[in-house]
Amino acid sequence: MVPQRQLLSGDEAVALAAFDAGVRLGAGYPGTPSTEILEYFAQLGGRAQWSPNEKVALEVGIGAAFARARALVTMKHVGLNVAADPLFTAAYTGVSGALVIVSADDPGMASSQNEQDNRRFAAAAGVPMLEPADSQDAYDYTLLAIEVSERWSIPVLLRMTTRVCHSKTVVRPRAALPAPPEPDFVRDIRGRVMIPSNARPAHRRLRAKLAAIARWNEAEGPRRVTGQGRRLRIVASGVAFAHAREAAPEAAVFQPGMTYPLPVEAIRGFLDGAARRVVIEEGDPCLAEALRAEGIAVEAKPEMYRFGELDVARIRRILAGDTEPEPAPAPATPPRLCPGCPHRAVFEALRDLDCIVSGDIGCYSLGVLPPFEAMDTLVCMGAAVGVGLGMRATLPAEQARRVVSVIGDSTFVHSGITGLVEMVYNPPSTGHLVLILDNGTTAMTGMQEHPGTGRTLDHRPTGKVSFEDLARALGISDVLVVDPTVNPAGFRELVRERLAAGRLSVIIARRNCLLAAGRIKEYEKCDEP
Amino acid sequence: MSRSVTNIVVAGLGGQGVLKASDIAAEAAFRSGRDVKKSELHGMSQRGGSVTSDVRYGAEVLSPMVPAGEADFLVVLDADQVEINLPLLRPGGMLIDPARLEGVRLASRKSLNVALLGVLSVSLDLPETAWREAIATHLPERLHAANFAAFEAGRAAAGGHGGSR
Ligand SMILES: Cc1ncc(C[n+]2csc(CCOP(=O)(O)OP(=O)(O)O)c2C)c(N)n1
Ligand code: SF4
């Protein structure tokens, strides 16, 4: 049977492969460009769930894989920072089923706070990494990641990038993997309880596995080689492979599908005798450094191409040795808060009161732009609370009294709760005010549910975390819930009054996201028995 | 190889249907048996910022992105976005903007994207049935009639003149 062609995004291709492979559980936290993987997996009929954050998602995936299931965990690149703690030790324990962790990197920062290169994580944690160049690779490598994970009992990282996640290319699904055994608990205390006496041999086992995987990758790992000239030979990974082929049709190009551990000898052989050998990679010079460390002389891109995405034009420039400043991109229209967005009333108040705003990530980050310009810091999810407390603790009192922490509802659940604990435990002498902007959804990434909405990934009713109950249970007595849009002037006065009180306060500004409001109403109707 | 690949860029503002239009164009090429790649960045596309999406098709497509200055067709949904996107078009490439629909009455502004695809379709070598199937695939059924009409209106408006820039 000829497999049916499908036109799929990289995200959809990962989901389809996971579904075809009988993945039992998909867990993750939304984050562009990874979000659609679990959404599509659920649409196909897979069991997918949002966790409160990436660390929990990975822990759930580890548990499933300890239980001998096939598990998929998805997140954007910065999510792996949050999940790094379980990642590094899961590399030691290994898994009994399969564990595939998708890291969706964002070179160029289309919608992220940094452009960290998560290929560094593979080497740091000692976890194999596969890097698809297009949706067909995304499909094939998801299956391969499951096979590698099961064969060597090791978690596997699948590194996507924004272009690969969000580009649609043609996919031909291949034959399904043999079905895995049913989940079952088999006790393995020494293998899974990482007290030092067990972790020491576990680290040695990990290194032995990586050596075996490296040998396999050298001999028969995934790769593509196109062209055969010896004048110019290029090693390129991820989507840079597709760009490089177009930019240099005369070149021979090698794409290592598994970039950690790298098939160094295969690449050495490919480059042998070539007049010119160039590494083309987005982000950090990981491949170039690894090859040079093995004594393979390669040209790396000039430093200016570390920044941003690569494309055909930039690769032509790299090959031409062009380091002249690049033409500035056309001034695009920036995004803004929707007209009628409930966040508007909040930022108008913070602006009018000249607050020092410790901000956070979400739609409400747009409060930094005119006409509000009411955000002074933004670091990472959850940082609003801690950073605000740090400023309160050290600024002169008259400035400290103006500090407000502003955090969205999904972000609060993700990593703001521990900040509230800090506030109770180390209260600033001037008090503090935390504003939770509860718009009933994770708007920024496309309206996903979270534990505060009381609905699951596929919008069915489930347990609901009440922010006001949580804050009161932590011992914060001044907890207020208001709709900021009903009486904006009254809201402003409330903020002024809380700042003047010099106590610990939490205001939950509750009003549904305008774009999500219709949908939320529909879901709520379905929720009624 | 670049000449055997058709390069289309769709541009506009978030919420105007840029991504829907590029999905439909890619689907039409896909249903015509071509190799297709479609690419976009849609981080905050719903918040009214500039959005562009690339569609490339041919016997074999490599990069998913249309190199700047190599677009054969530039479809712009918002008159104000024409100027910033013009550098994407190759010399002699075709600009398809709302001005191409002057005098055409659309039942809904919302189907402007599909009407402009109608204009585009006249210059492409994809069968009309593939376009209709693509529209049907990417829009809910209750919108089919209005969008087929918009598509036809675009085709009719493009009729004689092949307005090259
Ligand atoms: C560790 C990490 N995970 C995910 C993201 C992507 N992300 C940024 S903000 C956000 C949530 C925004 O939701 P919310 O706090 O409810 O604010 P809203 O957009 O609804 O205003 C997400 C998922 C990120 N930046 N960092
Ligand atoms: S999507 Fe919702 S939260 Fe985001 S700007 Fe629009 S109304 Fe506000």
Measured on CA atoms in the order A164, A169, A175, A180, is the torsion positive or negative? positive
Does the beta carbon of B53 lie under 8 angstroms from any beta carbon of chain A?
no
Cβ contacts of A262 within 8 Å, gap of 6 or more: A214, A217, A256, A287, A290, A291
CA distance A164 to B55: 14
On whether the CB atoms of residues A222 and A289 are closer than 8 A, the answer is no
State the virtual CA torsion across A55, A60, A64, A66 in degrees, nearest 10. 60
Residue with tokens 């006790």: A187
User: So what's the pLDDT on residue B48?
Assistant: 80
**A454-487 pLDDT, tens digit each:** 999 999 999 999 999 999 999 999 999 999 999 9
Could you identify the atom of ligand 1 that is nearest to the CA of residue A32? Answer: 6
Does the beta carbon of B59 lie under 8 angstroms from any beta carbon of chain A?
no
Q: Do B44 and A111 touch (CB under 8 A)?
A: yes
- What averages of pLDDT result for each successive group of 10 residues across chain A (529 residues)? 84 98 98 98 98 98 98 98 98 98 96 96 98 98 98 98 98 91 97 98 98 98 96 98 98 98 98 98 98 98 98 98 91 88 98 98 96 98 98 98 98 98 98 98 97 98 98 97 98 98 98 97 85
CA distance B65 to A8: 16
Residue B164 lies in a domain: no
Whether B162 has a pLDDT exceeding 50, the answer reads: no
Q: Going by CATH, does the domain composed of A223-319 fall within 3.40.50.920? A: yes
Q: How far is the CA of A513 from the centre of ligand 2 (A)?
A: 5
Q: A239 vs chain B: nearest CA distance in angstroms?
A: 8
**Which helix (H) or strand (E) element contains residue A96?**
none
User: So what's the pLDDT on residue B108?
Assistant: 87
Give counts: helices (H), strands (E), chain B: 5, 5
Measured on CA atoms in the order A186, A189, A194, A199, is the torsion positive or negative? negative
Closest-lying ligand to the alpha carbon of A110? 1
**B31-71 pLDDT, tens digit each:** 999 999 999 876 565 678 889 999 999 999 999 999 999 99
From the list B43, B67, B87, the residue facing A110 with the nearest CB is B43
Q: Which CATH code is given to the segment(s) A343-527?
A: 3.40.50.970
How many structural domains comprise chain B? 1
From the list B26, B39, B46, the residue facing A166 with the nearest CB is B39
Q: Which of A442, A513, A519, A520 to mutate to test the pocket of ligand 2 (most atoms within 8 A of CB)?
A: A513
A520 Cβ inside 6 Å of ligand 2: no
CA distance A103 to A477: 40
User: So what's the pLDDT on residue A328?
Assistant: 85
What DSSP string describes A259-328? EES--HHHHHHHHTT-SEEEEE-SSS-HHHHHHHHTT---B---GGGGSS---HHHHHHHHTT--SPPPP
Question: Which residue out of B19, B50, B60, B65 would a mutagenesis test of the A interface target, given it has the greatest number of A Cβ atoms within 10 Å?
Answer: B65
HEC-encoded secondary structure of A424-454: HHCCCCCCEEEEEEECCCECCCCCECCCCCC
From the list B23, B44, B63, the residue facing A311 with the nearest CB is B63
Q: Do A166 and B62 touch (CB under 8 A)?
A: no
**Given its phi and psi angles, is residue A472 left (phi above 0), alpha (psi -120 to 50 degrees) or beta?**
alpha
Question: Strands (DSSP E) along A78-167, which ranges?
Answer: 98-105, 129-130, 156-161
Q: B159 vs chain A: nearest CA distance in angstroms?
A: 30
Per DSSP, the three-state class of A100 is: strand
Domain edges within chain A:
6-220, 223-319, 343-527
Name residue A437's beta-bridge partners: A408, A509
**B9-25 pLDDT, tens digit each:** 999 998 899 999 999 99
Tell me the fold of A6-220: Rossmann fold (3.40.50)
Q: Do A335 and B37 touch (CB under 8 A)?
A: no
On whether the CB atoms of residues A450 and A412 are closer than 8 A, the answer is no
What DSSP string describes A172-238? ---PPPPPPPPP-----HHHH---HHHHHHHHHHHHHHHHHHHHHHHHH--EEEE---SSEEEEE-T
**pLDDT, average across residues B79-86:** 94
Question: Strands (DSSP E) along A29-174, which ranges?
Answer: 48-50, 70-76, 98-105, 129-130, 156-161, 168-171
For A274, the token pair is 């070539």
> Residue A163's closest chain B neighbor by CA?
B39
Q: Compute how many other C-beta atoms are within 10 angstroms of the C-beta atom of residue A445.
A: 22
Axis crossing angle, helix A417-425 with helix A383-394, rounded to the nearest 10: 20
**B108-131 pLDDT, tens digit each:** 889 999 999 999 999 999 999 999
Residue nearest to atom 2 of ligand 1 (CA): A79
Give counts: helices (H), strands (E), chain A: 22, 18
Q: Do A330 and B87 touch (CB under 8 A)?
A: yes
Per DSSP, the three-state class of B58 is: strand
Residue nearest to atom 2 of ligand 2 (CA): A513
Question: Strands (DSSP E) along chain B, which ranges?
Answer: 6-13, 35-40, 50-58, 71-76, 89-96
**pLDDT, average across residues B80-105:** 95
Residue B64 lies in a domain: yes
**A378-390 pLDDT, tens digit each:** 999 999 999 999 9
Residues of A with CB under 8 A from a CB of B: 5, 7, 32-33, 108, 110-111, 134, 162-163, 166-170, 239, 242-243, 245-247, 249, 311-313, 330-338, 363, 366, 444, 446, 515
CA distance A510 to A242: 46
**A31-54 pLDDT, tens digit each:** 999 999 999 999 999 999 999 999
Nearest to A416 by CA among A386, A376, A389, A461: A386
How many pairs of residues across A and B have Cβ atoms under 8 Å apart?
A: 102
Residue nearest to atom 5 of ligand 2 (CA): A337
Residues in chain B within 8 Å Cβ distance of A76: none
Residue B119 lies in a domain: yes
Whether B163 has a pLDDT exceeding 70, the answer reads: no
Closest-lying ligand to the alpha carbon of A366? 2
Could you identify the atom of ligand 2 that is nearest to the CA of residue B46? Answer: 1
On whether the CB atoms of residues A391 and A428 are closer than 8 A, the answer is no
Q: A20 vs chain B: nearest CA distance in angstroms?
A: 23
On whether the CB atoms of residues A365 and A380 are closer than 8 A, the answer is no
Question: Strands (DSSP E) along A19-95, which ranges?
Answer: 25-28, 48-50, 70-76
Q: Do B43 and A32 touch (CB under 8 A)?
A: yes
CA distance A273 to A275: 6
Q: Do B30 and A7 touch (CB under 8 A)?
A: yes
Nearest to A88 by CA among A199, A212, A189, A197: A199
Half-sphere exposure of residue A75: CA atoms within 13 angstroms, side-chain side? 28
Domain limits for position B47: 5-157
In CATH terms, are A6-220 and A223-319 the same topology? yes
Residue B162 lies in a domain: no
Pairing outcome for strands A356-358 and A403-408: parallel
Q: Do B36 and A170 touch (CB under 8 A)?
A: yes
Closest-lying ligand to the alpha carbon of A441? 1
A447 Cβ inside 6 Å of ligand 2: no
CA distance A235 to A307: 19
Q: Do A166 and B41 touch (CB under 8 A)?
A: yes
